Amino acid sequence: MTSEQTSVELGVFLPVGNGGWITSTTSPQLPATYEYNKQVTLLAEDLGFDFALSMAKWRGYGGPSQHWDVTLESLTTMSGLAEATSRIGVWGTIHTMIFHPAVVAKMVSVLDQISNGRFGLNLVAGSNPADQGQMGLWRELDHGGRYELAEEWITVAKRLWSEDRVDHEGKFYKLTDCMSNPKPKKQPPIICAGASDSGFRFTIKNCSGSFLLGSNRNDFVKTGLRAKELAAEVGRTDFKTYGLFTIVPGGTDKEAQERVDYYNSGVDVEALDNQTREYSSDPSLKQNTMANRFIAQGQSRNSMSPAAIVGSVDTIADRLADIVISARLSGITVIVPDFIDDLKTIGVDVVSGLKERGVSTTAYTHQHE
């Protein structure tokens, strides 16, 4: 075991959409129910995970797997999980195009009370035109315009969390003598997954951390270091970066790969084509890094992210530790096929392997000290 340790947070990206994060008819067909997600979150809390995060999704992709045709709403889900838990962070997602900041400011204040300060907010400035357009809420803004709206949105929300009365007249929102009580005891953690330079700059200026994805190991490292570089330019030494990893464990590397091959044998091409078509309809597709990742998955006909870490516990720990240390990540957020058995493998065996490789987690400390 190495004496030098890098400390990281550990979180789980909850399966609030049916089928979880694998687009296949042969993968675990996870139910999009509150009870299942409560079971996962209570397990994560028992294992010592730092946070559980839920996505916001309004329209599924159909196909034989009916991928994400059923999804839980994020903030109400996290409200229930805040009451059901006592230690783990509960982080919810909102689309800035859909919710008025004054509405969310009050919702967050109530969630702050329910969770006793454990609630965090994940901001999404874009998504895709079909997801929000079906409700007439999509705004035809270019990439820069979406972050302009998001910046005004979070500015208004922060003022409502700290000021007695707010007057604001901006490009997107108008508030007149607006009052919002109660206030949260402190500003919640705010994260965003914007991965373009515009997205990073918005996140670094307005948020406490960024969620990062990569198409492979080198892409993860490049993206993580770019975020740290931009943060350093404005003196944000406290800025956090969280890598999002799909992980498929097995008793051996061969067994883990056999799981992936089995899931890919049932890949839902129709759902992936629908996903690709929806994201491709974005006029600002060139700048939408997240959309391009979804499209690349669809075009490659993979049931899951091509950057998935697949292998034995030792292989997973090797690859995760390498990326965490090389990219200077602050946290690891995991997606797994089975959010009970696989999550136990990550939360017990993999965190032990990470500790041996110089990456320490609250989960390891929770279980061993």
CATH number of 6-368: 3.20.20.30
Six-digit token string for 347 = 């939360």
- Give Cα separations from 359 to 47, 69, 311, 323 (angstroms): 17, 37, 19, 11
Instruction: Phi first, then psi: give them for residue 190, nearest 5 degrees.
Output: -125, 130
297 backbone dihedrals φ, ψ, rounded to 5°: -60, -45
Segments of the chain with pLDDT less than 70: 1-3, 283-296, 298
The pLDDT of residue 143: 85
Which pLDDT does position 262 carry in this prediction?
98
Q: What Å distances lie between residue 70 and 2, 17, 58, CA to CA?
A: 45, 6, 9
Per-domain boundaries in the chain: 6-368
**Predicted local distance difference test score (pLDDT) of residue 298:** 64
Report residue 114 as tokens: 């329910």
Q: Which amino acid is at 25?
A: T
pLDDT score of 169:
98
> What confidence tens digit (pLDDT) does each residue in 99-148 have?
999 999 999 999 999 999 999 999 999 878 889 999 999 898 988 899 99
Please give the pLDDT value at position 264.
Answer: 95
Instruction: Specify the pLDDT at position 290.
Output: 66
Is the peptide bond between 182 and the residue preceding it cis, with omega within 30 degrees of 0?
yes
As given in the structure block, the two tokens for residue 161 are 């969390």
In 3D space, the residue among 175, 174, 124, 171 whose CA is nearest the CA of residue 148 turns out to be 171
Question: Which whole-number Å values give the CA distances from 355 to 217, 330, 351, in the listed order?
Answer: 20, 15, 6
Burial of 303 (0-12, 13-18, 19+ CB in 10 A): buried
